[in-house]
Amino acid sequence: MNQTRLLYPLGVLLLLGAIPLDVLARIKLTTLPVRERVQIHLDHPQVALVEEERIVPLVKGVNQVDFSWANTRIDPDTLVLRILPPLGEPVLDAKVLSVSYPPNENALVWSVAASASGAARVRISYALGGLSKDFHYRAVADREEKTLELAQYLRVNNYANEAYDLAQFQTGVGAGFDKSLGLDETKEVQINRFANTPVRKTYTSDPVKFGYLDRAQDKLNVPMHYVIKNADGALGKAALPEGKARIFQDDGQGGSAFLGEDRGQFTPPDDELELYLGLARDIVVRRTIDRNERQRIAGNLYRYDVTVKYEIENFKDAPATLNIVESVRQIRDQVRGDPGRDPEWQLGDGTLRHPDPEKSDADQLLFHVDLPARSADGPAPKQTQTLRLTLNNEW
């Protein structure tokens, strides 16, 4: 029996003669087939898959190909050796016969049969721990905050204790790229740039999600967001993975001002990426329950008429749109306690009558309210909005 042995990282060990495996471990004649090609697949959310292509010299008969991975976190159950079709002559037919696992070693030995002596192109695939990725964004808004330039970066962190020279990276986002990745090295690569991306700046009051700025004065927090819809133009072709976003604004002097940072959520196409910018101090929203009337229908069955009042002032010298978000369940619980049932409700004749149908449901209501700019010489106009609800069949 002819035996050839491949040793990793990554040598090939050539042995001739019918020698049992435990003897083989002591007598080694090694050739070192270099990696011809390395692909690193990072498209799976949890697992990094490495594929190495090597040209392995085989002799006619049965060859022992040894693969070891001391001090690396290869998952041995994922190791696959595939013999690829030859690129040219002579044609060599090879097949894996068996795999042996020596004791107390991160190693295995493939037994490979070859129809003739020659070189075989093989691909070794394995899941590798310690090789992780994360995404980052850099958004630079224009002066008017109407568009921004969104750059998307991939960061590959190599704590796998193995270096890869000129590997092909497939990330599942954007085009692949070729880079070397050293030991304990982190490599950052820009994988997409979306110029002139439309952006909306939103102001939102939502007592459940964002709470009160001053509960005694009924003043709500009014957070600001940049909202980017993952649709149209260069966007919308793929999901935007979750990742930290640093947000800047063009300062009009050739530079940019840092506005803050946020963790962007996974955003599928047609969804919106919301980046939190901080609290707006120039838009003041006071929320009060203005009315709460109970009417008996029968026995212990009641109907409630509830009015929520919003007093809104825009101290900015620019118009804005305020998003008012309410949870009907939270209003019901506030006016009569939680009976453990979902509320049944109808909108009444308040000023807020047309919730956004795309973003409202059986519990949450979203209204858009336009706020005019403060006049140059006067105070901010105060506008009052009311949300009137009828809560039916409560007991």
Partner 1 sequence: MTLNRIVCFLCLLLPLALPARNVDLATVPERRTVQLTIYNSEDLTLVRESRIVTFKKGVNPLQFSWANTLIDPTSVELKFREPKTGLIMLDTTFPHDKPQTLYWNVQSDADREAIIEISYFTSGISWAADYLAVADPDEKTLRLESFVRVRNLSGEDYENAQVRLVVGTINLVEKIAELAKLPVGRVNELKREDYKDLRQRAARKMMAPAPAMEMAAGAMAYDAAEMDAPKEIIKEGLSEYFIYTIEGTETVPNGWAKRLRSFEADAVPMVVEYRYRPREYGDQLTRLYLLKNDAASKLGSTPLPDGVMQIFRANRSEGLSYLATQNLKYVPIGDKIELNLGVDRLVIFELVKQKIYRDNLWFQIKGGNLYRKLGEDGFKLELDSQVAGWDEHTVYRQKIRNYSPKPIHVQIRRDYAGDIVFRSRLNPTLHDFQTVQFEADIPVGEKAALDYEVIARLGYNQKQNRVELQNGEAGR
Half-sphere exposure of 143 (CA within 13 A, CB side): 5
Q: Which is nearer to partner 1, 168 or 383 (CB)?
A: 168
d(C-alpha 283, C-alpha 221), whole Å: 9
Q: Cα angle at 58 between 57 and 61, to 5 degrees?
A: 175
Strand order in the sheet with 272-279: 272-279, 223-229, 200-205, 320-327, 364-371
247 by DSSP, 3-state: which? strand
Q: Which is nearer to partner 1, 147 or 168 (CB)?
A: 168
CB of 39 to partner 1, least distance (A): 5
Q: Which is nearer to partner 1, 351 or 360 (CB)?
A: 360
Q: Which is nearer to partner 1, 260 or 348 (CB)?
A: 348
CB of 206 to partner 1, least distance (A): 18
187 has which bridge partners?
A: 156
CB of 135 to partner 1, least distance (A): 13
> Which residues have C-beta within 8 Å of that of residue 145, sequence separation ≥ 6?
199, 201, 226, 249
Q: What is the DSSP letter of 349?
A: S
Greatest CA span in the chain, whole angstroms? 98
Tokens 């009311």 sit at which residue?
386
Q: Which is nearer to partner 1, 49 or 324 (CB)?
A: 49
At 360, which amino acid appears? S
CB of 153 to partner 1, least distance (A): 19
Contact residues for partner 1 (CB under 8 A)?
A: 1-2, 18, 20-23, 39, 41, 43-45, 47, 49, 51, 61-62, 77-78, 80, 84, 95-104, 113-115, 123, 125, 127, 238-239, 266, 268-271, 296-301, 341-344, 361-363, 392-393, 395
CB of 207 to partner 1, least distance (A): 20
- Give the pair of three-digit tokens for residue 222: 């009014």
> Which residues have C-beta within 8 Å of that of residue 229, sequence separation ≥ 6?
198, 235, 236, 270, 271, 272, 273
Residue 178 near residue 189 (C-beta atoms within 8 A): no
Residue 381 near residue 289 (C-beta atoms within 8 A): no
Q: Which is nearer to partner 1, 125 or 383 (CB)?
A: 125
CB of 329 to partner 1, least distance (A): 10
How many other CB atoms are there within 10 angstroms of residue 126's CB atom? 21
Q: Which is nearer to partner 1, 79 or 373 (CB)?
A: 79
285 has which bridge partners?
A: 312
Cα→Cα distances 65→107, 113, 164, 189, 307, Å? 11, 10, 21, 36, 78
Q: Which is nearer to partner 1, 78 or 186 (CB)?
A: 78
CB of 184 to partner 1, least distance (A): 24
CB of 73 to partner 1, least distance (A): 15
d(C-alpha 354, C-alpha 360), whole Å: 10
Q: Which is nearer to partner 1, 71 or 104 (CB)?
A: 104
